[in-house]
Structure formats: structure tokens, C-alpha cells
Amino acid sequence: MRRIVFKTSEAAASQSGAMEPETISKNGASLKSHTGRGNLKKMMCFALFATVFIFSGCKKDDPLPPVDEDGLTEDIRNIIPDDILEKFKELGIEINGGNKPPNIEGTYLISPLILVKSNFTDFILPGDKFDDGQYTFSQQDNAKLTIVCDYEQGTQSGNGLGSFITGTGNKFSVYTEISGTYGSSPFKSVDIYSGEITPTGIKNVYWAAIITMEAPGTIKRGQGRLVYDSDGFSEKIEKKAAVYEGGSSILSSVK
């Protein structure tokens, strides 16, 4: 049977914007229809490829640990309950909260280490000097806001202490829970160490320590001290054995 195909005139098509004439293949199928389906398949394959490329190439960063109104994480609040946090604030330690702290890895010498304030009365007075302190920070992990701390000061020392860090810009604070014994009785304290990092050391170092679980014969829970590097700068040094000068560690006050 003979097939009849109606074609739109070129003049009419150009005036009305009508579709181009359809072309019929030998088997009677529309070549233009095949071409359109082919183009659609190509477009779908391209879109699928682009989607896979975008999602495989853009890995979403893990969210930073959230902080509360004081800029502290839940981990920090687990070692510093509300009443102890208030004691730190009363002592006057600057707490540099936030979840984007600078990198502070290295060893620093705090000297001369001078008492600013105690929240209890004993024989050590503001202005008195303590033995130099030496702090080493390592294994800083800003995704978890954790850091490892070693310290030596007076008769006290600690190694490999799991700690937490907060801060923004160049300012930071480190929080360390310290467990020890007095005689045969255990005690705990929390230290906060705050400052502003520079390429050669730390500016304006302040260090506060408060007892969180007392042992008999030691200062009471909630009591502590605030000390600082009185020349305003704690130099970055090679780690070495601290020199014991015969003075007091900052929480020594045996009655």
C-alpha cells in the first residue's frame, strides 16, 4: 500500500514557528522521533553522571562538637559542674570558649609564676612566687576538641593527661582533670590554662586549679588558686626536666 505523508510548506513553517516536517524511514518509523528519544537518553545519562560526580566529590565535613552559652562542650561540663565553673569565674580566669581553637602543640615555660588570687586563706599570699611551670601539649584534635597534656610544676607532674580544648582565633583554653592521692586518699582537681598563641610562645598565660574531690588534709572542694606568667609571655622551648626550686606547687596547702 502506498503511504502518503503530508508536509507543511516552508513558508507556513517560517511564519507560524511550526515543527519541522517529519521524515519517514523505509520501515515506516519516524527518524525524528528516534533522534528525540536518543537525545533524551543522552541527557538523562549526563544528568545521572553529573549527580554521581557531585555527591562523590563533595564529602560533607563532620560537624564540630556543639558548645553551650559559655562556649564549653558537654565533655568539659562533665568534669566541671556548675558550682565549680562559678568558682573558676570568681577567681577571674578568662575562659576562651568556642569550637575553633588554634593549634597550640609544643612545650612552654611559665615563668615567673605568680599568685593572683586564692579563694581560701592560708600562708600563700597574692604576689608570692611558685616554682616555674612547664606545659607540653600534643595530639590536638580539633574535630573532637581534645588534646594531650604533660606538665611539671614544683612537686607535681602529670603525663599523657587526656584534656579538652576550646577557643577561637588565636585565643584558647585547655581543661584538664587531674587525679591523685594524698597519703592513701584519692583527690581530684581541674586545671584551666588560658592564653593567646603566637609563633614563639603564648601571651598572657593564666592558670587556675580548683579541687573537685577533696582528700583529708588537703584544701576543700571548690577551693583553688589563680596564677599567671607575670612577664606576660610563656616561651616555646624544648621539653626538659623542670627545675624544682623548693617552693610550692600551686595547690599545695597541707594543714
Could you tell me if 26 and 150 lie in one domain?
no
Q: Does residue 9 carry a pLDDT above 50?
A: no
Q: What are the backbone dihedrals phi and psi of residue 27, each rounded to the nearest 5 degrees, phi first?
A: -90, 5
Could you tell me if 45 and 97 lie in one domain?
no
Rounded Cα distance between 146 and 183, Å, is: 31
Q: Does residue 55 carry a pLDDT above 70?
A: no
Displacement of CA 109 from its chain's centroid (Å): 23
Displacement of CA 21 from its chain's centroid (Å): 67
Q: What are the backbone dihedrals phi and psi of residue 55, each rounded to the nearest 5 degrees, phi first?
A: -75, -30
Q: What is the pTM of this model?
A: 0.73
Whole-number pLDDT of residue 5: 41
Could you tell me if 212 and 101 lie in one domain?
yes
pLDDT tens-place string over residues 167-194: 999 999 999 998 877 778 888 999 999 9
Helices and strands counted in the chain (H then E) = 4, 11
Tell me if 76 sits within 8 A of 191, measured CB to CB.
Answer: no
pLDDT tens-place string over residues 193-234: 999 999 999 999 999 999 999 988 788 999 999 999 999 999
Assess if residue 5 is contained within a domain. Answer: no
Could you tell me if 40 and 153 lie in one domain?
no
Q: Which domain holds residue 113?
A: 74-237
Could you tell me if 89 and 143 lie in one domain?
yes
